Amino acid sequence: MSAVFYRSMDHEYPVAVRASGMHIYDRTGHEYLDMSGGAAVSCVGHQHPEIVAAINEQIGTLAYAHTAFFSNRPQEELAAMLADRFAEPDARVYFTSGGSEANETAIKMAYQYWRAKGHNNKTTIIGREHSYHGNTIGALSISGNLARRKPVTGLLHNWPRIEPNYARYYRRENESEADYSVRSASLLEDAIQAIGPDNVAAFIAEPVVGATLGAVPASAGYFKEIRKICDRHEVLLILDEVMCGTGRTGRFFAHEFDGVVPDIVTLAKGLSGGYMPLSATLVRRCIADAFEQGQARFSHGHTHVGHAAACAAGLSVLEVLGRYQLIGSVEDKGRCLDDALRQHFGDDARVVDFRGRGLLRAIELDPEALRAGVTGHSPPVSIVERLRNAAMRQGLICYPGMARIHDKDRYHILLAPPFIVENRHFDEAADKLRGVLNEVCGG
């Protein structure tokens, strides 16, 4: 009997013992093709020797020195590298250990920024429905992932959320994409006006919605409108690129596609590719200035902020991404993955949509077909769990999810493979996915 408090107490987890490139192996020798990098984490593949060596070297020299006392070389170099990639000069970077912490940092920074500027009432953070920003209380409070909010609703702040930007379900008939973008963004202006601009600190959104909706990029022009609205009402724009950043869409920052510059952007997952827990909250110079010039201290901090070995992992991941031009290959590989999925499932009525950007892609499944396969499971296993378990049996790691939109459950399977993925993996993954659908839909 294990002493581990597992995510799910009634599930038996295989024990992973080693990994290499695109694969993870469990202790029975079963091989899993990692087509989602876990949860879009692994971007350079597993056990990359250069990254393992860089981490070992850092740990052999200086694993950790508390950042209340010291800075360290990997933190300095990684911050400079990230700031260099940002659209504006002199950005500042705050390092934490996971996506939730990065978003907690972002909302605390927005709140304290406005206090430093003398706007003490600017405290509300507006989010979007069907979004996910993390599982800590603050990050979950700004999230619209209903399944994750529900068990702890009473603990959460009651902050407002606007409709997501998702043309497939929210664009009106005969509405052009441009008109939809403007109308969809205007919902933020309505929300700001309802609360009063003097009370709103920030708006947060994922440029490509990941886990909750399954790889949904914004309609063209949406974020440009959002940026204008934020500027008009002095509301900070926080973009959560925990899942879609660090090259996953084909550009280093996902917001480069949207042609906007956020005030704060958060990164995690691919930033250290799973080699160490690491996240970053990057802020524009003008935000950092308010703390530097206003004699205000940013009141925050965790024990492992700026962890030397974690930052060394991040640094090495960025070096490997650059040396092998991996981000440059993401758009092409994403297109090939999409083509392969359409070839395999274009005529399959169980698959109703193909979407995504770069190597953040998803298929949407017909809920009726999925429900047809549900036959008296006891205890009831959700369809999402059934999809994940069936995939594991097929030797496939993918990331299924569900969102309830217009009173209907919409299921998707997210695919976010490491950037080293090759064409042959796409057909293999599609064959395994067919096995998953056959098992779950009973076809």
Ligand X SMILES: Cc1ncc(COP(=O)(O)O)c(C=O)c1O
Residue, CB closest to ligand X: 99
With contacts defined by CB under 6 A, name the span among 76-84, 203-211, 377-385, 396-404 that binds ligand X.
203-211
266-295: contacts with ligand X (CB under 6 A): 268
Q: Are 39 and 244 in contact (CB under 8 A)?
A: no
- Closest by CA to 226, choosing from 241, 217, 211, 239, is 239
With contacts defined by CB under 6 A, name the span among 237-245, 330-338, 339-347, 399-407 that binds ligand X.
237-245
Judged by beta carbon, residue 350 or residue 355, the one nearer ligand X is 355
Residue 85 makes CB contacts below 8 A (sequence gap 6+) with 252, 253
What does DSSP say about strands 200-205 and 236-240: parallel, antiparallel, or unpaired?
Answer: parallel
Element of type H or E holding 133: none
Q: Please identify which residue in 22, 39, 116, 436 interacts with ligand X, judged by CB under 6 A.
A: 39
- Closest by CA to 226, choosing from 184, 257, 288, is 184
Q: To the nearest whole angstrom, how small is the minimum distance from the Cβ of residue 371 to ligand X?
A: 26
Q: Is 96 in the site for ligand X (CB under 6 A)?
A: no
With contacts defined by CB under 6 A, name the span among 51-59, 238-246, 313-321, 355-363 that binds ligand X.
238-246
Element of type H or E holding 123: none
Q: Which residue has the tokens 């991996």?
A: 326
Q: To the nearest whole angstrom, how small is the minimum distance from the Cβ of residue 347 to ligand X?
A: 32
Q: Please identify which residue in 210, 262, 270, 401 interacts with ligand X, judged by CB under 6 A.
A: 210
As a whole number of angstroms, the distance between CA 353 and CA 346 comes to: 9
Q: Is 127 in the site for ligand X (CB under 6 A)?
A: no
Judged by beta carbon, residue 200 or residue 243, the one nearer ligand X is 243
What does DSSP say about strands 236-240 and 264-267: parallel, antiparallel, or unpaired?
Answer: parallel
Judged by beta carbon, residue 268 or residue 330, the one nearer ligand X is 268
Q: Is 242 in the site for ligand X (CB under 6 A)?
A: yes
Q: Is 138 in the site for ligand X (CB under 6 A)?
A: no
Q: Are 104 and 137 in contact (CB under 8 A)?
A: no
Q: To the nearest whole angstrom, how small is the minimum distance from the Cβ of residue 384 to ligand X?
A: 14
Q: To the nearest whole angstrom, how small is the minimum distance from the Cβ of residue 41 to ligand X?
A: 8
As a whole number of angstroms, the distance between CA 78 and CA 398 comes to: 30
Q: To the nearest whole angstrom, how small is the minimum distance from the Cβ of residue 268 to ligand X?
A: 5
Q: Is 243 in the site for ligand X (CB under 6 A)?
A: yes
As a whole number of angstroms, the distance between CA 284 and CA 262 comes to: 8
DSSP 13: P
Q: Is 201 in the site for ligand X (CB under 6 A)?
A: no
Judged by beta carbon, residue 132 or residue 252, the one nearer ligand X is 132
Q: Are 270 and 245 in contact (CB under 8 A)?
A: yes
Q: Is 313 in the site for ligand X (CB under 6 A)?
A: no
Q: Please identify which residue in 37, 45, 74, 99 interacts with ligand X, judged by CB under 6 A.
A: 99
Residue 121 makes CB contacts below 8 A (sequence gap 6+) with 198, 199
Judged by beta carbon, residue 208 or residue 433, the one nearer ligand X is 208
Judged by beta carbon, residue 144 or residue 221, the one nearer ligand X is 144
What does DSSP say about strands 279-283 and 264-267: parallel, antiparallel, or unpaired?
Answer: antiparallel
As a whole number of angstroms, the distance between CA 440 and CA 428 comes to: 19
Q: Is 334 in the site for ligand X (CB under 6 A)?
A: no
Q: Is 211 in the site for ligand X (CB under 6 A)?
A: yes
Q: Is 245 in the site for ligand X (CB under 6 A)?
A: no
Q: Are 97 and 310 in contact (CB under 8 A)?
A: yes
As a whole number of angstroms, the distance between CA 144 and CA 141 comes to: 8
Judged by beta carbon, residue 250 or residue 350, the one nearer ligand X is 250
Q: Are 143 and 217 in contact (CB under 8 A)?
A: no
Encoded one letter per residue, x for contact with ligand X by CB under 6 A and - for no contact, window 346-365 reads --------------------
Question: Total number of residues binding ligand X (CB under 6 A)?
Answer: 15
- Helix (H/G/I), strand (E/B), else coil: 20: strand
Q: Are 290 and 91 in contact (CB under 8 A)?
A: no
| 362-401 burial: b if 16+ Cβ within 10 Å, else e | bbbbbeebbeebeeeeeeeeebbebbbbbbbebebbbbbb
With contacts defined by CB under 6 A, name the span among 127-135, 186-194, 217-225, 383-391 that binds ligand X.
127-135
With contacts defined by CB under 6 A, name the span among 92-100, 166-174, 186-194, 328-336 that binds ligand X.
92-100
Q: Is 310 in the site for ligand X (CB under 6 A)?
A: no
With contacts defined by CB under 6 A, name the span among 129-137, 154-162, 290-298, 384-392 that binds ligand X.
129-137
Q: Is 107 in the site for ligand X (CB under 6 A)?
A: no
Contact residues for ligand X, defined by CB under 6 A: 39, 98-100, 103, 132-134, 206, 210-211, 240, 242-243, 268
